[in-house]
Amino acid sequence: MLFRKILPVLALLPLAAPPAFAQFAPGGPPAVGVVRAERHAVTETSEFVGRIQATDRVNLVARVTAFLEQISFAEGAEVKKGDVLYHLERPPFEADVQAKAATIAQMQAQLQNAAITLHRAEALLHTPAGQQSTVDDARANQLSYQAQLMQAEANLRVSQINLGYTDIIAPIDGKIGRTAVTIGNVVSPSSGTLATIVSQDPMYVVFPISVRAALDLRQRYHDKGGLSAVLIRVRLPDGRIYDQAGKVDFVDNTISANTDTITLRGVIANPLLPGLAATNAGKTAVAARELTDGEFVSVILEGVEPITALTVPRAAVLSDQSGDYVYVVGAGNKIEQHRLQLGQSTATEAVVLKGIEPGAMVVVDGVQRVRPGLVVAPGPASPPPGTSTGSKTAAGDPAAKRD
């Protein structure tokens, strides 16, 4: 009886196949996003590591020995050429000037008396009382006093110069650093640097490049004006591109034997940042600028005029041990692999020198799903982030999502 009830249940089991053996109909060709390779205006760039350097640097030192009486600047402030920065004690030097002036007055009186004596001797020369030796002695005495007067005037000039050195003046415009001495200390030429001033605007940007890169730059811009066809852009340490452009003004005359590099230098503006100036205890304003002497930056050499070149999206370019390549949708929507020779490229576009022709349908989206000979369903590639939907795509193809 029990067997009769189980038999119908067993008869039904073969009719329900397990999921692992379920059969599905084959799917269609994979969808890929493509972009048509076209000629566009591309700005050629090359990037190097450089350092910001002040165009002028002055180490302030004392020229005379004296007590420091006053400091007339704020540390870290910008100073102007001619500003008095340190005041040294003046009375000893003023007294020395007066003493030298008195010596000059004495020499002038003696010279005047010698001139009178010479005139008297010359007048008596044609009389029985006159002698040539007396005239000669009087003339020599006058010339001696003239020389002594010149010496006294030179000594006075030296004393006046030393008196002027009691005011230490800024020889250039720039930003001054910390003072190495404080009021009340004796300073002298052997005291070393009192403070350092570095110029602020413009600034140099110095960067070494390999000899191979230098040759490439020379060939690239030889017919376009040489260095005048190159702009310098600076990427700051925080990743921002500095809003001022510079020009290359110097190429070193020697290649480094250790690194096989040659040094280039550019000049770039460094204006005050608006709204960041402040006063410091009523002294010279402390101001902020973007570039600082000694700062490491990335230097971007950028062509002044763009060139027209065949480009493809950088995301479409793949690489292996044999080099760079792209997948192209060919006849019958079959995938073809094309090896490329690339030129100067940007972060978003790659310049193609050889390997494909204008109009080629290059796969951008879904490259991981294709292989040579595979039939695909092409459609326009999704625009990169931040790009409007009206950006260039392969016209007439259905849309495809970026993977």
Give the pLDDT confidence of 297-327 residue by residue, as tens digits. 999 887 766 677 788 888 888 888 888 898 9
Q: What is the pTM of this model?
A: 0.66
Give the pLDDT confidence of 323-343 residue by residue, as tens digits. 889 899 888 888 888 888 887
**Domain residue limits, the chain:** 31-39+309-380, 46-56+199-303, 90-165
- Beta-carbon neighbour count of residue 88 at 10 Å? 22
Given this structure, which CATH class describes domain 90-165?
A: mainly alpha
Q: Residue 254 has which token pair?
A: 């020697």
Helices (H) and strands (E) in the chain, counts: 4, 24
Architecture of domain 31-39+309-380: Beta Barrel (2.40)
3-state class (DSSP) for residue 100: helix
Rounded distance, CA 333 to CA 329, Å? 5
Angle at 77 between CA 72 and CA 79, to 5 degrees: 65
Angle at 268 between CA 263 and CA 274, to 5 degrees: 150
Q: What pLDDT is attached to residue 347? A: 67
- Between the alpha carbon of residue 330 and those of residues 311, 342, 373, the distances in Å are 18, 21, 9
- Write the single-letter amino acid at 387: T
Architecture of domain 46-56+199-303: Beta Barrel (2.40)
Q: What pLDDT is attached to residue 130? A: 61
Give the pLDDT confidence of 384-399 residue by residue, as tens digits. 654 544 334 333 343 3
Q: Do domains 46-56+199-303 and 90-165 have the same CATH topology?
A: no
Q: Residue 269 has which token pair?
A: 């503006």
